[in-house]
Amino acid sequence: MAMMRLRREDPRVVGSFRLHRRLGAGGMGVVYLGSDRRGQRVALKVIRPDLAEDQEFRSRFAREVSAARRIRGGCTARLVAADLEADRPWFATQYVPGPSLHDKVAEDGPLTAAEVASVGSALSEGLVAVHEAGVVHRDLKPSNILLSPKGPRIIDFGIAWATGASTLTHVGTAVGSPGFLAPEQVRGAAVTPATDVFSLGATLAYAAMGDSPFGHGSSEVMLYRVVHEEAQLAGVPDALAPLVRACLAKDPEERPSTLQLSLRLKEIAAREAQGLGAVDTRPPAPRRTPDRQGAERSTGRLADTRQDRDRDRDRTAEHAAQRTRRAPGTPPPSRTNGTGRRTAPPRTGGRSGSRPAPRSNGGRTAPPRTTSTGRRGPANPRLLRQRLIVFVVVTLLVALGIAAAQGCQGPARGLEQSSPQGAVTTAAAATDARSLGSAP
């Protein structure tokens, strides 16, 4: 907030507060930066000398103090002290550091869609607390919103009024700021919470465009546009334009409530913030299934969508089933790992821990079969039959050799005792039997 030096006519001490700088001046008085004896900083508002004798302005000032006391929550500056009976009535609130929304936009330009939605959500939530206290602000505008580090704060309840009260101070004069007044305020009808909703819509439009939605001109021209012409929202982001237009409806019954505004603006702020965090800073488009061929041409890989992943999974399963159903003895086709890349063939060799070399089968070599999960599958049925036949033949030969050896032991004993030649014959038979038993 811009600060100015104290002028010669400005007081130096008000109540128990010492004044240091000027923070601003309005239609009712001047706001100063002050501090108490403990060093707590306050924003102290003193009514103008020429208005101090006007009972109407004293009453309006008293309403502002009463409204500040009734409102609970962090949406407004907390009331610290007040003196309504002084020669120049004053009250002090907690000092809120930070520029006004008006100054922020004037210096840095319009806010982004995410920033506008975030500020609007906090203001809507603050207005819920204001209206629950039975108060209507009636003068919500960019200069009455302070952007503190802890969130926006609503200030200046100088013309705040109870719900249902008239907006006219004198016949034919509307109280408030042209361009941000609601049509019912201009007509002199009763104010309601919907009155602040209209002002909030005009404030959000200003934050997004950097200008009033009803343009510029004299007070009479601006008030006429508010009542009879539609707001110009050409510069408002598409994500916010429908909601802002609903707030600026001429009929109060057609405007959304502050609670509905708060919830909707939170959703928009979250969505827009995610869009700002992405590589592409444009507002996020609706989620659509990308063209598969176009994605492959641009990125060289499959589009990363749920439909494409399911389709690839189904194709992988179908290929695995086709390999399982393939005729025996037919070498399997080249395999893929589910991503479209060809897998390398299994390594073979004599090193410890390596996979066994493929077995010979009629002059052809068939690599070991594996399933789609990488485990070894069932062997070739033809190879199993051949192994079984070899095993049976070898077993029969061994059995015959053992039987022959046992049959020759009886007759040979007599021959061993009668002649050396019999011993030689017996030894030769035993040798033949052992040879038959060890034959494969």
Instruction: Using the Cα atoms of residue 139, residue 142, residue 143 and residue 146 in order, give the sign of their dihedral.
Output: positive
Phi-psi region of 109 (alpha: psi -120 to 50; beta: other; left: phi over 0): left
State the Cα–Cα distance between residues 203 and 127, nearest whole angstrom. Answer: 13
**Where does 26-146 have alpha helices with state H?**
55-70, 101-108, 113-132
Structure tokens at 154: 């609503």
Query: Which residues are CB-neighbours of 118 under 8 A, at least 6 positions away?
Result: 265, 269, 273
Mark whether 139 is an active-site residue: yes
The single residue of 54, 108, 139, 156 carrying the catalytic annotation is 139
Per the listing, tokens 């506008």 go with: 116
Residue 247: closest CA among 212, 209, 203: 203
How distant, in Å, are the alpha carbons of 99, 115, 345, 370 from that of 325? 75, 61, 21, 13
State the Cα–Cα distance between residues 208 and 271, nearest whole angstrom. Answer: 17
Helix (H/G/I), strand (E/B), else coil: 194: helix
438: burial class by Cβ within 10 Å (0-12, 13-18, 19+)? exposed
Positions marked active-site: 139
